[in-house]
Amino acid sequence: MADSSERPVGVFDSGVGGLSVVREIQARLPGERLLYLADSAHCPYGARSRQELIELTRGITRWLLSQGAKLVVVACNTASVAALGALRSTFDVPFVGIVPAVKPAALATRTRRIGILATPVTFQMEMFNDLVRNFAADVEVCRQVCPGLVELAERGIVAGPEVEEPLRRYLEPLLTAGVDTIVLGCTHYPFFRPVIERLAGPEVTVIDTGDAIARQVERVLGGQRLLRRDGCGELLLATTGDVVRFATVASHLLGATPNEVVPVDLDADTPAPHRPTRRGGDAVTLPDSGDLTP
């Protein structure tokens, strides 16, 4: 492709979570072509080892680059804190990663107590603990893992009793501790935001990093003269897992039905063609988004 700005922005996550970041990028940069890969075959990432995450995310990045990605967004807190350094030292492409919004929360809190919802791996990694040390040393940081939430989002269930029951349990210790700011430190969690806000009450501010990531994508692309300002943006979806399942849940969460979702085998020698929508054969045409019954 002669004009590099025409190339897609590659975005990936363990599954549907990164679509919460895609929404923000689409809102800020409507002209960009986005290529989203969900590593559904290996979801969840939240309890994997750093080495596994480095290997998985290297494979994903290789695939995104084979499709012409001009920038790679690691739309996953877990993968970013575990593997971003390794990815940056392996590949010659700009990366934008995502980390829990510890700094904005520490600046915003009045009670001097903040809550972070994230995966076990995110809390273990030094990148997260450095954030706390550097930006929230004078603030009480309540860490809360949320087992099962990622799996619910992967099934497209983001409201109702199945969601409220665990969320009440996860929020209770934070609210008892008196936090007034809660950080959504996993990209799957913004899909639960309305429920979290309702359960936490009006005194609590919920912070999500999606918009900040979109602004960073804009800054990095702008700095490299890679912004695609004209033309109509598009979203191409791909998954390493079950295409029909991913397609159904993605269309439900995005509130729009993409044309098709392409299956990706990261172990295959030959990468899929650059334009997944032209692949024909294996791609799956989606059911209407209204068909999803949680």
Catalogue the active-site residues: 76, 186
Choose, by CB under 6 A, the member of 5, 40, 57, 187 that binds ligand DGL. 187
Q: Which helix (H) or strand (E) holds 56?
A: helix 50-66
Residues 6+ apart with CB under 8 A from 190: 20, 184, 208, 210
Question: Considering only CA atoms, which of 209, 23, 22 is closest in space to residue 131?
Answer: 209
Is the CB of 118 or the CB of 243 nearer to ligand DGL?
118
Cβ-based burial of 114 (10 A; exposed 0-12, middle 13-18, buried ≥19): buried
CB of 30 to ligand DGL, least distance (A): 24
Pairwise CA distance, residues 105 & 119, whole Å? 18
Choose, by CB under 6 A, the member of 7, 23, 188, 228 that binds ligand DGL. 188
Total binding residues for ligand DGL by CB under 6 A?
16
Is the CB of 82 or the CB of 272 nearer to ligand DGL?
82
Provide, for the chain, the percentages of residues in helix, strand and coil under a 3-state DSSP scheme, each rounded to the nearest 5: 45, 15, 35
Is the CB of 36 or the CB of 45 nearer to ligand DGL?
45
Residue 260's DSSP bridge partners are: 285
Choose, by CB under 6 A, the member of 77, 181, 239, 251 that binds ligand DGL. 77
By the rule CB under 6 A, 17 interacts with ligand DGL: yes
CB of 148 to ligand DGL, least distance (A): 11
Is the CB of 78 or the CB of 251 nearer to ligand DGL?
78
* Contact in structure between 92 and 224 (CB atoms under 8 Å): no
CB of 171 to ligand DGL, least distance (A): 18
Interface pattern 36-55 for ligand DGL (x via CB under 6 A) = -------xxxx---------
Pairwise CA distance, residues 60 & 121, whole Å? 19
CB of 94 to ligand DGL, least distance (A): 20
Which listed range, 70-78, 104-112, 164-172, 273-281, lies at the site for ligand DGL (CB under 6 A)? 70-78
Pairwise CA distance, residues 208 & 193, whole Å? 9
Choose, by CB under 6 A, the member of 38, 53, 73, 76 that binds ligand DGL. 76
Choose, by CB under 6 A, the member of 5, 57, 67, 78 that binds ligand DGL. 78
Residues 6+ apart with CB under 8 A from 123: 116, 143, 145
Pairwise CA distance, residues 150 & 39, whole Å? 13
Interface pattern 145-184 for ligand DGL (x via CB under 6 A) = -----x----------------------------------
Q: Which residue is nearest to ligand DGL (CB)?
A: 46
Pairwise CA distance, residues 76 & 21, whole Å? 9
Residue 235's DSSP bridge partners are: 34
Positions touching ligand DGL (CB under 6 A) are 13-14, 17, 43-46, 76-78, 119, 122, 150, 186-188
